[in-house]
Every structure is written in C-alpha cells, then in structure tokens.
Amino acid sequence: MRQALRDLRHWLQAFERPRAPERMPVRIGRRRIYVLPTAFGLFYGVLVLAMVLGALNYNNNPALMLALLLGASGLASLIAAHLQLSGLQAEALSAEPVAAGELLWLRLSLAARDGRRRRGLRGELDGASAFTGTGEDGTAELTLPLPTRRRGWLEPGRLRLSTTQPLGLARAWTRVWPQQQLLVYPRAEAHPPPLPDSGGDSEHSRVHPLGEEPHQLRAYRSGDAPRAIAWKHSARRDSLVVREYERALQQDVLLDWNAVRALPYEARISRLAAWVDQAEREGRRYRLRLPGQPQLGPGRGLEHHHACLRALALLPDA
C-alpha cells in the first residue's frame, strides 16, 4: 500500500509546473502554486463543521457566529499561504564543487521585490530540507545538502518550495527546476604513492634576493636593500658590497595519464586527482597531461587546481 501511494504521488507530481528545466531567475506566479489543507487544517475544518451543526441544532446564534468566523479565518489562511509564495523570485542556484561521495551544499537565492515579508519558507530536495525567510532587504538563501555519487555534471532536479504560514491550516507549495548543472570532482585515491619524479635532477638553484643560502658578493647598485649590504666586507674593501643569495627551485611535476596506464580507468582518474591535491598542498608547480586534450600548466593555485580537477571530472566514461 505504501509503495502504491508513493507511486501515485510521483505520478501526480509529474503534472506539477514546471514540466521542464527553466533558466534562472524564475518568478513564481500564481498559476504554479498549489494549496491544500494540512492534517491540522482538516481537523480544524471538521471541528468547525461540528460547531455549525451543533449551533443549528440548538438554534444558538452566538455559537453559529463563532463557527462562521472560525471558518472564514480558515479560508483566509488558504489565501495567506498562497501569498507567501506568490511573487517570490528564485534568483540563482550555486554550489562549490566537491569530490564524489561528499555532500554538495546547494544554495538557492530568493528575493521578494514587492516589499512583503515571507516567513517559514521550506526547501526540499532528495529528502533534505531547510527553512528560511526573507529579511528586511527582501532576500533569503536556502542551503541544502545534496549527496553526490559520481564525478561529472550533476543535475539537481526539481526543488520543492513550500510554507504552512500563517496558521498552519494549509500548505502552499511550488516547484523550481533550474536549468543548471553542478560540477562534482572525481574521488581522490585515499592513500596515493608519492608524486612522480619529473625526470633529471629533482631541484636546482638560482640567484634570488630572498633566497636562503649566500651565493656571492658583488658591488652595491642603486636600489639594493640595505639589509643585503655586507657591512664587514664593505669596511675591509672601503666600498659597499652586497650579498647575493640563491634559492632552491623544484622542477615542475608532470602528472601524465600514460604514467598510470597499468590502473583501471576510474582508478587512473582517482590517482591523478590525488596527485593534483598533493602537489597543491606542497606548493609544487605541476602539469596535467590527459589524452585528447591540451596540456594544463605548469601552474599552481586555486584556478589551476580547479582547471585540473574539472578536466579529470569531465573525462568520458570508460
């Protein structure tokens, strides 16, 4: 019976608007809002009906007036619940990429441009729910945790926005179906081996004013920092000389698809994703070479890190 009711519910939801993904921003009009009594609202209606029948039976006019006023309040709550959603606008949908298997925190920005406050707005998606309400500036944000299972583009699907304000007698709801895809990074290997050797010497050095090891002395030039002047040597030579330092430089790390060809397809992607994370943590410059794509890098930093993980996430399935 429960399964039959669940199937019936999904079948009815297919007729709710919108029936196709839509571009943001989306204004929620009255034709896409649905209103039905809650369980408490049904009990309230039965109670008012019983009061009306009792008042008519005993010809009690004050009781009849009270019952009619309660009934009118219940009908007014249906309209008030509808107005909580009418005119609301879904501005944008966004989420920071995460690795497959982690929770993707979905953010839906809402705005009410008509100056009316909205309270008790509830967002639901895939069993997750959150509450919000518009502030004095008429804006609000819903944050929902969305489970991720595989790398690549993720379509969030239809999000339900509802409210039972102001009296809890009726539930008004609508659907928002953003035409937007969210990126999910590949799952990184839990315990990857060390970064691959880039070939040749692991590091070399060059002269750098902020280096660690003294390299040589040279004559002072205009613009040299005073702290670089070798005062003792300058006193002996009767002229200013400056210390030059050298800094060790590591070679770029090459992360090559062919270097992990012994692994299965998805394991290759996980290994390279783990190496990208490791090189970023160590502050190394790295390059990523994938089949059929131009080489990424050398580089480091947030943008390069995102570009490499994005390229790995969007590789075609095996």
Give the model's confidence band at 109: pLDDT under 50 very low, under 70 low, under 90 confident, else very high. Answer: very high
Residue 245's pLDDT is what? 64
Q: Return the structure tokens found at 94.
A: 């966004």
pLDDT value, residue 106: 94
Q: What DSSP designation does 158 have?
A: P
Which phi and psi angles does 27 have, rounded to 5°? -95, 130
Mean of pLDDT values over 89-104: 93
Average pLDDT, the chain: 87
What's the pLDDT at 249?
53
Q: What percent of the chain has pLDDT over 90?
A: 62
- Determine what percent of the chain is predicted with pLDDT higher than 70: 92
* The pLDDT of residue 198: 57
Q: Is the pLDDT of residue 213 over 90?
A: no
- What DSSP assignment string belongs to 217-275? EEE--TT--GGGB-HHHHHHHTS-EEEEEEEEEEPPEEEEGGGGTTS-HHHHHHHHHHH
Contacting residues for 57 by C-beta, under 8 A, at least 6 apart: none
DSSP3 helix / strand / coil % (the chain, rounded to 5): 30, 30, 35
**pLDDT by residue (tens digit) across 44-89?**
999 999 999 999 999 999 999 999 999 999 999 999 999 999 999 9
The answer to whether residue 241 scores a pLDDT higher than 90 is no
Rounded CA gap, 4 and 26, in Å? 33
At 19, is the pLDDT very low, low, confident or very high (cuts 50, 70, 90)?
A: confident
- Is the pLDDT at 1 greater than 90, yes or no? no
Q: Look-up: residue for tokens 């010497």?
A: 201
Between 109 and 245, the more confident residue is 109
pLDDT of 177: 92
Lookup result for tokens 């970064």: 195
Instruction: Answer yes or no: is pLDDT of 227 > 50.
Output: yes
pLDDT value, residue 209? 45
pLDDT tens sequence across 179-208: 989 999 999 999 999 988 754 444 444 444
What is residue 137's DSSP assignment?
T
How large is the average pLDDT for residues 292-313?
93
The reported pTM is 0.75
Q: What is the pLDDT of residue 199?
A: 47
User: Which pLDDT value is given to residue 250?
Assistant: 58
CB 196 within 8 A of CB 254: yes
Compute CA distances 113 → 18, 20, 89, 246, 315, whole Å: 22, 25, 8, 61, 42
116-148 pLDDT, tens per residue? 899 999 999 988 899 999 888 889 999 999 999
- Alpha-carbon gap, residue 17 to 14, rounded angstroms: 8
